[in-house]
Amino acid sequence: MFNIKSVASVMALASAMIFVHTNTAQAAVFATTADTQNVTFFGSGILTGAPDNGGAFLSNTFDPPSLLGSITFGFGVSFFDGAGVDFELIDVGQSSNEMYDVALSADGISFFSLGVFTTLINGIDINGAFAGPFSFIRVTNTSLVNSADLDTAQVFFTAPEIPIPAALPLFLSGMGLVGFFGKRRRKNLVQA
């Protein structure tokens, strides 16, 4: 027999499954991988993890660059556009002559450019320019004068694991109840 307590239990279970997404900054997550092209390493040469004042110049030589280099930072999880600064590129020596194109990707293959920035702006706010979660940040040198000398990258907002509308589980459980009661009513009409 199906009763109102059972309906309340189903509704409570459906409500518990709703993912509540808050738009607040979380602990910074540093890059876990870094693929490079035409870079010159300095210091530790490590581009992942917490900053250590070592990393890579975005060129195949020290300044001035002869070939423009790039670094693609990867993260073990996906991130999204939150409120305020979404990620930070940590540069060892900031200069208005050090410029790079910053692009985002969910899969590491197709990238969307956010534009060209100087290393004077380390914290970048996506501000609605890229929809959906991303897992990769590609930084490509655009300066023929000075190369950015990047140490690492960090992101601040994790993406929701189950991006479903809050009302969907309630709707689906309601549809199940409609089907259940419709079947019972049909069975009662056939027996009559």
Q: What is the pLDDT of residue 182?
A: 57
Q: What is the pLDDT of residue 93?
A: 84
**H-helix or E-strand containing 76?**
strand 70-79
The two three-digit tokens of residue 91, written as one number: 């540069």
Note the pTM of the prediction, 2 decimals. Answer: 0.70
| Helix, strand, coil % in the chain, rounded to nearest 5 | 20, 35, 45
Rounded-to-integer distance, Cα 163 and Cα 186, Å: 36
Least confident range from 10-24, 83-97, 126-140, 164-178: namely: 10-24
Report pLDDT digits (tens) over 33-60. 999 999 999 999 999 999 999 999 999 9
169 Cβ neighbours under 8 A, 6+ residues apart: 14, 15, 17, 18
Q: What is the pLDDT of residue 174?
A: 58
Is the Cβ–Cβ distance between 36 and 71 less than 8 Å? Answer: yes
Closest CA to 141 of 75, 63, 87: 63
Rounded-to-integer distance, Cα 192 and Cα 188, Å: 6
pLDDT higher than 60, residue 162 = no
- The DSSP 8-state label assigned to residue 43 in this structure reads T
Rounded-to-integer distance, Cα 138 and Cα 105, Å: 8
Q: What is the pLDDT of residue 19?
A: 35
Which residues on neighbouring strands pair with residue 115, listed in sequence order?
102
Phi/psi of residue 172, each to 5°?
-65, -40
Is the Cβ–Cβ distance between 47 and 39 less than 8 Å? Answer: no
Domains of the chain (ranges; CATH) run 29-155 (2.60.120)
Q: How confident is the model at residue 14 (pLDDT cuts 50, 70, 90)?
A: very low
Least confident range from 38-42, 88-92, 144-148, 183-187: namely: 183-187
Q: How confident is the model at residue 13 (pLDDT cuts 50, 70, 90)?
A: very low
Sole residue written with tokens 């280099």: 69
Report pLDDT digits (tens) over 131-151. 889 999 999 999 999 999 999
Buried b (16+ CB within 10 A) or exposed e, 181-191: eeeeeeeeeee
Distance from chain centroid for Cα 58:
23
